[in-house]
Amino acid sequence: MKSLEVNFDGLVGPTHNYAGLSDGNVASLSNAHDVSSPKNAALQGLKKMKALHDMGMGQGVLAPQERPDIFSLRRLGFSGSDASVLAQAAKTSPALLSACCSASSMWTANAATVSPSSDSADGKVHFTPANLTNKFHRSLEPETTGNILKAVFNDENVFEHHLHLNDNDHFGDEGAANHTRLCTDYDDAGVQIFTFGRYAFNRAKPMPMKYPARQTLEASQAVARLHQLDDNRVVYVQQNPAVIDQGVFHNDVIAVGNQNVLFYHQQAFLNTEQFLGELRQKFSGDDLHCIQVNSDDVTVQDAVNTYLFNTQIITLNDGSMAIVAPMHCYENERVKAYLDNLVTMGTPIKEVKYFDVNESMKNGGGPACLRLRVALKESELAAVNPNCVLNDELYGTLVNWVEKHYRDRLSFDDLTDPSLLVESRTALDELTQILNLGSVYRFQR
């Protein structure tokens, strides 16, 4: 094994709930205020991780963030004991309390953009946490995300950690959800595709009318600069504003890539032909598979409802690829028929594996949202914090940890319960020991 791709999945946090916080994300809005099950959510995520590990894939775990975020509530003027802060926030602004309780860091595709060492001029693996400025609840994540990434990829000779981009809408950055890397082998130089929703400084350019475009071109360019990428191997492409307005809030809701395969919907991009031309020219190697799904076969609406493109395309040990899809794809006749056909089409994708990640799906997070991909050489993998790399023992430990600390049900009223804060901090304190992270949380500092 020379190199591999390791999926670092976000462990769902103990306050997972449905708060309807994400304008432009259809599932988040339509399931607002349903009762959630943090325990099932975390166990569903762990099952997916274990299944991929059992398939021989590299699989890592990223810790959740501390919620309720008492520090942000205090920063916004609530004071007194922790219990009083929670009670005042619930009374004054329930939406603010929900935002400060969101377990949204589970979607680690939004944790950061990662560039492997073979693409960066200095030969290091680069990380830039996403600033997630477009949504208040998500903008609370980058600082702790940076702490966690530094604790997992904790060798400065191998890993380069950047500060998240300036916290401003002009540099709105959603991380790997708008970034795809194509390559031949994982340790070959690849082509990095940065997908953006709008131009920060030019309102005359196309942009969505109804829902926000979360990622700007300027943010993507800044990340490419920080990661020391070669312009000849970078492609910028604008998301089709019309599909953002239909609920495609991140590009990974409508396109996904792995090695020499790009799987995308006909309407995903603006100027698709120009984009594919540039991609073909920059991708060295003649074996690039661009699999376009036409609207006649799967509509944008079906793609948004089933997350057909928020699937993980993984390379199995025999070199063939499999698609890791949510059950929603299985349950939709047209999408299921498409996938049944896809594995017979002569592309590298030969198999579909369906997973129940419904607790996450109800907030608009499919299998691909739950993972951050990191392509690593063997020597780089050896430098990763070993306590964060999944094996059978760690899986068992994490399942027991969830069973011990997580609630079966959570509704809005529970968020004001001061014992939820204590439970959450107790759980996370124990987790930092299991994963050997040190003091990554504010309450530990």
Ligand X SMILES: N=C(N)NCCC[C@H](NC(=O)CCC(=O)O)C(=O)O
**Which residues carry out catalysis?**
174, 250, 369
Q: Judged by CB under 6 A, does residue 255 bind ligand X?
A: no
Binding mask of the shown chain, residues 159 to 178, with x at each position contacting ligand X by CB under 6 A: ------------------x-
DSSP three-state, residue 22: coil
Q: Residues for the chain: how many in total?
A: 445
Binds ligand X (CB under 6 A): choice among 21, 219, 243, 394: 21
| Least Å from the CB of residue 108 to ligand X | 9
Count the site residues for ligand X by CB under 6 A.
23
| 6 dihedral zone (left: phi>0; alpha: psi -120 to 50; beta) | beta
Q: Indicate which single residue of 4, 12, 19, 313 sits in contact with ligand X (rule: CB under 6 A).
A: 19
252 near ligand X, rule: CB under 6 A: yes
Out of 11, 253, 261, 394, the only residue in the binding site for ligand X (CB under 6 A) is 253
* Closest CB to ligand X among residues 117, 363: 363
- Quick check: 104 binds ligand X (CB under 6 A)? yes
Q: Residue 138, interface with ligand X (CB under 6 A)?
A: yes
* CA pair distance 142, 130, nearest whole angstrom: 6
112 vs 261, beta carbon nearer ligand X: 112
Which token pair is 130?
């996403």
Of 57, 97, 219, 369, the one binding ligand X by CB under 6 A: 369
Q: Could you write out the three-class secondary structure of 245-307?
A: CCCCCCHHHCEEEECCEEEEECCCECCHHHHHHHHHHHCCCCCCEEEEECCCCCCHHHHHHHC
Residue with Cβ nearer ligand X (20 or 348): 20
Q: Taking the mean position of all CA atoms in its chain, how far away is CA 49?
A: 14
260 binds ligand X (CB under 6 A): no
Instruction: Sketch the per residue contact string, 328 through 367, with ligand X: x for CB under 6 A, - otherwise.
Output: -----------------------------------xxx--
In the complex, minimum distance from the CB of residue 132 to ligand X, in angstroms, rounded to a whole number = 7
Q: What is the DSSP letter of 17?
A: -
With beta carbons less than 8 A apart as the criterion, state whether 59 and 314 touch.
Answer: no
Binding mask 203-242 for ligand X (x = CB under 6 A): ----------------------------------------
**Nearer Cβ to ligand X (19/375):** 19
Nearest residue (CB) to ligand X, 69 versus 252: 252
Q: Any residues with CB less than 8 A from the CB of 18 and at least 6 apart, and which?
A: 28, 31, 32, 33, 34, 35, 36, 362, 363
Q: Does 263 bind ligand X (CB under 6 A)?
A: no
Rounded to an integer, what distance in angstroms lies between the CA atom of residue 125 and that of residue 114?
7
Nearer to ligand X, 370 or 384 (CB): 370
Q: Are 120 and 229 in contact (CB under 8 A)?
A: yes
**CB of 4 closer than 8 Å to CB of 352:** no
- Confirm or reject binding of residue 18 to ligand X (CB under 6 A): yes
25 binds ligand X (CB under 6 A): yes
Distance of alpha carbon 428 from alpha carbon 407, whole angstroms? 14
Give the H or E element holding residue 373: strand 371-377
Please give the structure tokens belonging to residue 314. Answer: 């993984």
Cβ 28 to ligand X shortest distance, Å: 4
Lay out the site mask for ligand X across 74-103 (x = CB under 6 A, - = otherwise).
Answer: ----------------------------x-
Q: Is residue 9 close enough to count as binding ligand X by CB under 6 A?
A: no
- Could you say which DSSP state residue 425 is in? H
Q: Estimate to the nearest angstrom the gap between the alpha carbon of 204 and the chain centroid.
A: 30
Residue 110 binds ligand X, judged by CB under 6 A: yes
At its nearest, how many Å lie between ligand X and the CB of residue 426?
Answer: 23
Q: How many helices (H) and strands (E) does the chain have?
A: 17, 15
In the complex, minimum distance from the CB of residue 249 to ligand X, in angstroms, rounded to a whole number: 6
Tell me: is residue 27 an annotated ligand-binding position: yes
Short-list 159, 128, 193, 48, CA closest to 384: 159
The whole-angstrom separation of Cα 391 and Cα 147 is 23
Q: How far apart are CA 403 and CA 39, in angstroms?
A: 7
* CB crowding 371-395: b at 16 or more within 10 Å, else e: bbbbbbbeebbebbbebbbbeeebb
Please state the residue numbers annotated as binding site for substrate.
19-28, 110, 137-138, 214, 252, 363
Under the rule (CB under 6 A), what is the footprint of ligand X? 18-22, 25, 28, 102, 104, 107, 109-110, 135, 138, 177, 249-250, 252-253, 363-365, 369
Please state the residue numbers annotated as binding site.
19-28, 110, 137-138, 214, 252, 363
